[in-house]
């Protein structure tokens, strides 16, 4: 380490150690009142001015371009990218996947989960019975020929 860098490092270390002591000595600078009752965090678009604070209100404004006024905020757009279907598929395929997952609890589902499964199980049993009946009839018709 060069002498210049060593001197600079020593000065920074001394200042860092002395600052808490200086802060404790002058307590008259400490905050004595209550924090503001209202804080507003706003986004303004284009040339809109930031509203003025009233009383002890704190107003924090962030300026955004006019083109972003009716868009989903950038932070949420990034979150939506994380929820996108694997491989960058369409939202339609994602919705179809969710529908397939939810199908087990819908009416006519024949599932022990949910209150609608019984109707689906009855319908499935009737379809199976009809298919067996048709198969027996075809077999009987084929044997007669």
Q: What is the pLDDT of residue 127?
A: 87
Residue 25 has pLDDT above 60, yes or no: no
Residues forming beta bridges with residue 64, ordered by sequence position: 45
Q: What is the mean pLDDT of the chain?
A: 74
Q: What is the pTM of this model?
A: 0.32
Question: Nearest CA to 103 among 116, 92, 122?
Answer: 116
Alpha helices in 38-116 (DSSP H): 74-83, 91-102
Q: What mean pLDDT comes out for the span 106-121?
A: 65
Q: What is the pLDDT of residue 130?
A: 94
Q: What mean pLDDT comes out for the span 97-109?
A: 71
Top pLDDT among 83 and 93 is at: 93
């Amino acid at each position: 380490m060069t002498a210049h860098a060593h001197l600079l490092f020593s000065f920074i270390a001394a200042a860092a150690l002395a600052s808490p002591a200086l802060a404790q000595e002058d307590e008259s600078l400490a905050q004595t009142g209550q924090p503001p009752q209202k804080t507003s965090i706003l986004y303004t678009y284009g040339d809109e001015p930031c509203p003025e604070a009233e009383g002890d209100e704190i107003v924090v404004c962030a300026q955004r371009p006019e083109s972003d006024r009716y868009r989903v905020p950038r932070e949420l757009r990034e979150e939506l990218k994380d929820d996108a279907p694997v491989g960058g598929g369409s939202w339609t395929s994602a919705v179809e996947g969710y529908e397939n997952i939810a199908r087990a609890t819908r009416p006519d589902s024949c599932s022990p989960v949910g209150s609608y499964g019984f109707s689906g199980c009855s319908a499935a049993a009737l379809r199976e019975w009809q298919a067996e009946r048709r198969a027996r009839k075809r077999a009987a018709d084929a044997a007669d020929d």
